[in-house]
Every structure is written in C-alpha cells, then in structure tokens.
Amino acid sequence: MIGRESGVYKTSYEADLALYPLPTGQYAAVAALACLALLPLALDSHAMALLNLMALASIGAIGLNILVGYTGQVSLGHGAFMMVGSYTAAILTTRYGVPFWLGIPAGGVMAAAVGAFFGIPSLRIKGLYLAIATLAAQFIVEWIINHWTWIGGGAQSTIYVPTPAFFGWEIDTEYKRWFMILPVAILAYVAALNLVRTRIGRAFVAVRDRDIAAEIIGVNIFRYKLTAFAISSFYAGVAGALWTYYLKIANYEHFTLVTSIQYLAMIIIGGLGSVLGSVFGAVFITLLPIVLVYLVEGTARLAGYEYASVADFLANLRLIIFGALIILSLAIEPEGLYRLWGNVKRYFRLWPFSY
C-alpha cells in the first residue's frame, strides 16, 4: 500500500533517475517539507530551539557520514572542522562585515581546505590508525585557535557576532533562526542524497568496500579520499558557521573532542552509509537526553519523590537509561535506525497482503 512499485511506469530516463521515483515517495517528501516549514505555527520557542539544535546536528552528521559511512575513513576530527567553520564565519562577519549567508559557505570552504589537509594521512593509514591521525586535527586546530590571537580574538578565544540579518530582516528569535537553518539543512540533505548517486559517490563506496579493487578499476584513490575529507569538512564547516550565527558567538569549547565522538555516535546509531540515517541519529542523540529529563523527572514526581531529594540519582539514572537505549537500539538493529525504518517500510510494501 505504501511505497508500492506496481503500476508505476517510467517512460524516460529522468523519471527513472528521480530522487523519489515513486509517487508516494514524492508525496511524502512534499508533505515532510510542508510540515517542516509549518512547524513554527504550532510550536513554542522552546520546541523551536530543540528543532534548531537537531537541524544543526543533522548537517554535521550528514557530513561525517559521507566520510565515515560512504568512504569508510574514520575521523575523530569533525569537531575541529566545525571549529574552523565557526571561527571563519565569526572573523568574516565581525571584521569584514560579511553577511551570514556568505559567511556560511565561506566557513564551509575554509573547513574543506583544512579537512583535506588533515585527510592526507588517510592515503597511508586506515581504520583505527587513521582515527588517531585525525585526532591530531582536533588538538592542533584547538591549539592554534587558542594561541593565535588573531584567530581566537584574544585571551578568551571568543568572538561575539552581531545578530545576523538578511537584507535588514534581523534573525533574532528561535522562529526566525529556524528559517536560517532549515534551508541550509534541506540543501545539505538533498545535496548529499544526490552526491552519493553520482560518479563521485560510487567512487566513495568503491574505496570503502575495497580500496585496492577500486584502484584497479581506475578510481583515483588519492583524489577521492581527499575529496571525501573536503566534502565532509565542508558540511562540518557549514554546521559550525551556522552554530556561530545561531548562538551569536564563536567559542572553541563548543566543539571539543566529545563533540566529535558524539557525531560518530550519531551516524553509528542512525546508520552508516545513509543520509536519512544521519538525520535519525542526530535527532536521537540530541533529543533523547532532553526527553529523558522530562520522562524521568515526571515519573519521579508521579511516584511522589521531591525533585531536590533525588536529583543526583535521577541525573545518573538518565545517563544509564540513555546508554541502555543506545545499546538496545544497536542490538535490535546493528545497522542503525535507518535499517529499522527500512524494515517498517518493507513490511508495509505489500500490506495488507504481505506473505
């Protein structure tokens, strides 16, 4: 019933190559888009802040998935590339008056350059060894921002950014910020969906599956590995720049090693090698700890406990539940939430006549 191919005849190559070849897919995409655009009508500013944070995380996660999930290069330096984007945007805006909509791509480009540089070791080393090499990026970039005062903006390594404005339209509420972040997120999502279906995307997958075989069939490994690093870091830079305009501040402590690990967690939980999975993972990792605050505290209140007397216990209980849910979701479906979603879709493919 849902997503049934039967009866859909394609008469042109374009139709066959469409991003959503089935009418149901197209309707769903349009409906999702309309939903996202209309959400501000229904939600309060607190919920909008959550949406913004999730959208920001999604952009970064999609980027990391291109590198780790599609190209098979493990990176622990994602936070560093976000830092680069963040400070690039802040410096351009505060010192050169560049508007935010130029600062975002500029942050991406700068991060792409830095990312490609730190991707060079990937030509020699793989897997865990590469992870450690990219860890260096995390520390080197942090050190440079911290000690090079021109970049860091002084002893505090913090740059305040004025309220971003789009031709005089000041983006100063959570609602307006949603319309700053959402278009970028959608662009990032669609671009990634298309990228992985192109020649470049197929080369990435070939490199991931077996780089020697890929080299033999004529894939230029040097080029594609660095391209993967550059594209992934571009996403990270865009996310970092958006984060700066979102908070109106650039501060390197927002992109520590923990951030890099968190993004890895997002794509592993969401599904390696899946664009939609990255979004699922970003939502999971961003939203779950916050939802747990309400769930656990609400339950405790219902059970008659006073918050102040059990606050420490609840805080740690939430962490335990969070960890258990991660393990549980991976135990149920090691290939991530995307696969789980796929299973649901497959179940309904011939429903109610499935066999």
Partner 1 sequence: MKMKLWRMGAAALAAASIVNLAWADHTVKIGGQCDRTGATRLIGVEICPGVADYVRLVNRKGGVLGHKLEYTEVEHGYAVDRGVEAYERLKRDGVVAMLDYGTPIVYALTPRHMADKIPAITPGFGRADSIDGRVWPYIFPMAASYWSQAGGAMQYIKDKGGKKGTKIAYLYFDNPAGREGIPIVEVVAEKEGYQLRHFAVPSPGLEMSPQVIDITRRFKADWVVAHLFGRAPSVSIKELKKSGFPLDRVISFVWGSGEADAKAAGWADSQGYLGLQFAAVGRNLPVIQEIMKMHRDEGKAVPEYVGSVYYNRGVLIAAILTEGVRLAIQNHGLPVTGDKVRLGYEAIRNFDLQGFLPPMTVTPADHEGGGWVKVYQVKGNEWVPITDWIRGYREEVLGLVDKANKKQH
CA pair distance 111, 80, nearest whole angstrom: 9
Q: Which is nearer to partner 1, 248 or 339 (CB)?
A: 248
Under the binding rule (CB under 8 A), the answer on residue 308 touching partner 1 is yes
CB of 216 to partner 1, least distance (A): 44
Which among 231-239, 273-281, 316-324, 347-355 is the span making contact with partner 1, rule CB under 8 A?
316-324
CB of 249 to partner 1, least distance (A): 6
CB of 7 to partner 1, least distance (A): 45
Q: Which residue, chain included where needed, has tokens 């278009």? A: 183
Q: Per DSSP, what are the bridge partners of residue 251?
A: 158
CB of 138 to partner 1, least distance (A): 12
Do the bridges between strand 158-160 and strand 165-166 make them parallel or antiparallel, or are there none, so unpaired?
A: unpaired
Residue among 205, 185, 343, 335 at smallest CA distance from 269: 335
User: By CB under 8 A, what part of segment 13-72 binds partner 1?
Assistant: 44-46, 48-50, 53, 57
Q: For the chain, percent helix, then strand, then coil, each to nearest 5?
A: 75, 5, 20
Instruction: Calculate Rg over the CA atoms of the chain.
Output: 22
Number of Cβ atoms within 10 Å of the Cβ of 249: 15
CB of 56 to partner 1, least distance (A): 8
CA pair distance 39, 30, nearest whole angstrom: 14
CA pair distance 180, 164, nearest whole angstrom: 9
Rounded to the nearest 5°, which phi and psi values hold at 165?
A: -135, 140
Which among 100-108, 128-136, 242-250, 273-281 is the span making contact with partner 1, rule CB under 8 A?
242-250
Under the binding rule (CB under 8 A), the answer on residue 324 touching partner 1 is no
**Cβ–Cβ < 8 Å for 57, 49:** no
Residue among 228, 185, 208 at smallest CA distance from 61: 185
Considering only residues 8, 34, 315, 344, which one is a binding residue for partner 1 as defined by CB under 8 A? Answer: 315
Q: Which residues are CB-neighbours of 250 under 8 A, at least 6 positions away?
A: 86, 87, 89, 90, 153, 158, 159, 161, 244
Considering only residues 16, 312, 327, 352, which one is a binding residue for partner 1 as defined by CB under 8 A? Answer: 312
CB of 274 to partner 1, least distance (A): 23
Considering only residues 73, 122, 157, 233, which one is a binding residue for partner 1 as defined by CB under 8 A? Answer: 157
User: By CB under 8 A, what part of segment 246-285 binds partner 1?
Assistant: 247-249, 251, 253-254
CB of 305 to partner 1, least distance (A): 13
Q: Which is nearer to partner 1, 127 or 289 (CB)?
A: 289
Residue-wise DSSP of 113-147: HHHHHHTGGGGT--HHHHHHHHHHHHHHHHHHHHH
Question: Binding string, 65-104, against partner 1, x = CB under 8 A?
Answer: ----------------------------------------
Q: Which is nearer to partner 1, 96 or 351 (CB)?
A: 96
CB of 318 to partner 1, least distance (A): 8
Considering only residues 27, 169, 307, 347, which one is a binding residue for partner 1 as defined by CB under 8 A? Answer: 307
Binding site for partner 1 (CB under 8 A): 44-46, 48-50, 53, 57, 146, 154-158, 160, 163, 172, 174, 247-249, 251, 253-254, 286, 289-290, 293, 307-308, 311-312, 314-316, 318-319
